[in-house]
Amino acid sequence: MAEITIIGGINIDIEGCPFGSLKAEDSNPGKISLAYGGVGRNIAENTARLGGDTAMVSVIGDDQMGRGAKAQLAELGVDVSCVTELQGRSSSMYLSILDEKHDMAMAISDMSIMDELTPAKLADCAPFLRSSGIVALDANLDEDFLTYACDLLDGVPLFFDPVSASKAARAKHLIGRFYSMKPNVMEAEVLSGLRVETEADLARVGDWFLSQGLEQLFITLNKDGVYYKSKEKEGILRPRGDLRLVSATGAGDSFSAAILLGCVRGLDIEEIARMGMAAASIAMESEQAVNSNINMKELKRRMREDV
């Protein structure tokens, strides 16, 4: 049984970028890349690379790419016994076309397979889940599923990643069921109904979240750091130096992984926030959603020197 279990999606991310100007209704010479993604999967890879005892609950299709994503997690030491391959279905995919400036011109998202990650499938994994030190859920899961998971796992520490402002509202009525949560400012506003424009606003929103029953809160502030709050401690951590930014994609997922590790290891909330910022700084140095160079030794070095 794993210390950390993540319930969420496994995506296949396909991205195309032209060598020259993007021409509509034409075949554009360019570069096509394929990567494994999905918020839940990214968090699981990060926790595994950081030495966490990790498991994942998800669904994939009976295709080579889905099997490849599952195999890659298994190679990293993630328990994938609750990742179910569904016959006759395609794995979750995200296809994006960039323009010559590397801005997204269009995209198609097919996450319909996630509808098959049902409460019944979750119930099959209940003994496994209840033995976890913490279970993570993300807002790509629908409201009914999140509600069922909170009921099924009552008494197990739960972590929630809101994913986006539009999806965050799915858990608005469940805030007190979670132990820990990591929204950004916009997501925190959606969940609380309060505006966040100043540090005083952050403190007021922090008070609101804890009044709902949440034990610990991390509000990420993009390049400005993170606000953290628990019953014992509250503060804002700012980066000490300039960040080396290659891509911000996946930085939030690495931060979530650090929170999960910090929770199961009983770290102080400020130390968890420092770990999260260090993990995010490593993630931002890679074009991929997960930096394959992330490891606990480098994380601790950055916590000492950069956070």
The model's pLDDT over 48-99, given as tens digits with 9 standing for 90+, comes to: 999 999 999 999 999 999 999 999 999 999 999 999 999 999 999 989 898 8
| Res 307: pLDDT | 62
Pairing of strands 158-161, 180-181: parallel
Confidence of residue 199 (pLDDT cuts 50, 70, 90): very high
pTM recorded for the entire structure: 0.93
DSSP notation for 40-76: HHHHHHHHHHTT--EEEEEEEESSHHHHHHHHHHHHT
Confidence of residue 241 (pLDDT cuts 50, 70, 90): low
User: Taking all residues of the chain, what is their mean pLDDT, rounded to a whole number?
Assistant: 93
The model's pLDDT over 201-234, given as tens digits with 9 standing for 90+, comes to: 999 999 999 999 999 999 999 888 999 999 999 9
Q: Which residues, in sequence order, are CB contacts of 240 under 8 Å at separation 6+?
A: 305, 306, 307
Question: Per-residue pLDDT averaged across 25-39, rounded?
Answer: 92
| Res 286: pLDDT | 87
Question: Per-residue pLDDT averaged across 267-292, rounded?
Answer: 93
d(CA 143, CA 152): 14
Q: Name the DSSP letter for residue 233.
A: -
C-alpha pair distances (Å), 156 with each of 2, 96, 133, 136, 235: 13, 37, 7, 10, 26
Question: Per-residue pLDDT averaged across 109-126, rounded?
Answer: 92
